[in-house]
């Protein structure tokens, strides 16, 4: 049986490990952005444009790597899930700009209702109607759409918009961890004739 002093040392060691893990998770949100060349390499490998890669971070929400995919031709779509509340925050990116004139003309992501109202503070636009709300962050010709589902705290949506930024190295690795290493390649068939309409060759069986 270990002595009380040995148990105390073990408990102290475990507390250091747990504190280090907590610091690494919290620190990820404030880490420096990944190198642009690294972002470009990872993005282009899956058909995304490097300038459209953005992430967010809100306490209680974790990125779901399986949700990450292509949207709008070259943008990224990714969702963060809260295991305690079931809330989901989703970020989608595309190229574009917003002005006080064009903002009300653009329907909310999940509805075609008219009457969208807009307000902005800097590059963050709050868009809402009778059907719901969303945020858009406009940066350097890029629009980052932030939407929420099953949110128990509506302020999480605004927090996600305010936290939009370029990914750190750790976030970049997690972001692309569930995606294939490269774009899907067409499957080559060995039974296609070189000439004609390209129909498969069916060998003649017994009896013609």
Q: In this structure, what is the dihedral angle of CA atoms 177, 163, 47, 63, given to the nearest 10 degrees?
A: 30
Per-residue pLDDT at 24: 40
Contact indicator for 148, 157 with CB cutoff of 8 Å: yes
Tokens of 133: 């709300």
Rounded to whole angstroms, the Cα distance separating 58 from 71 reads: 22
pLDDT at 131: 86
Dihedral (CA of 178, 179, 180, 186) sign: positive
Predicted structure pTM score? 0.75
Pair 155, 60: CB distance under 8 Å? no
Q: What's the CA gap between 81 and 156, in Å, rounded?
A: 12
Give 55: exposed, middle or buried? Use CB within 10 Å, 0-12, 13-18, 19+: buried
102-109-46-175 Cα dihedral, nearest 10 degrees: 110
The predicted pLDDT at position 23 comes to: 37
Identify the DSSP state of 75: E
- Nearest Cα residue to 58 out of 78, 75, 32, 81: 81
Adjacent-strand bridge partners of 55: 165
Q: Do 129 and 117 meet the contact criterion of CB atoms below 8 Å apart?
A: yes
Give mean pLDDT in consecutive 10-residue pieces for the chain, a chain of 208 residues.
Answer: 43 34 44 96 96 98 97 96 98 96 92 86 95 95 97 97 98 95 51 53 56
Residue of 107, 46, 53 whose CA lies nearest to 75:
53
| pLDDT for 110 | 84
**Alpha-carbon dihedral angle through residues 60, 62, 67, 69, given to the nearest 10 degrees:** 110
Is 85:150 a contact under the CB 8 Å cutoff?
Answer: yes
Question: pLDDT for 147-204, tens place per residue?
Answer: 999 999 999 999 999 999 999 999 999 999 999 865 545 445 455 455 555 555 555 5
């Amino acid at each position: 049986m270990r002595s009380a002093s040995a148990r105390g040392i073990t408990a102290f060691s475990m507390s250091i490990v747990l504190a280090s893990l907590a610091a690494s998770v919290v620190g990820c949100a404030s880490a420096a952005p990944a190198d642009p060349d690294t972002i470009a390499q990872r993005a282009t490998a899956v058909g995304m444009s490097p300038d459209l890669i953005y992430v967010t971070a809100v306490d209680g929400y974790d990125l779901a790597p399986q949700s990450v995919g292509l949207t709008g031709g070259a943008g990224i779509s990714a969702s963060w899930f809260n295991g305690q509340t079931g809330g989901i925050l989703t970020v989608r990116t595309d190229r574009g700009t917003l002005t006080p004139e064009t903002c009300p003309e653009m329907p909310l992501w999940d509805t075609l209702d008219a009457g969208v109202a807009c307000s902005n503070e800097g590059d963050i636009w709050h868009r809402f109607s009778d059907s719901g709300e969303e945020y858009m962050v406009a940066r350097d010709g890029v629009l980052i759409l932030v939407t929420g589902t099953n949110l128990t705290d509506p302020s999480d949506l605004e927090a996600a918009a305010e936290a939009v930024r370029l990914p750190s190295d750790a976030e970049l690795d997690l972001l692309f961890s569930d995606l294939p290493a490269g774009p899907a390649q067409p499957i080559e068939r060995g039974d296609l004739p070189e000439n004609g309409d390209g129909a498969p060759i069916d060998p003649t069986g017994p009896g013609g």
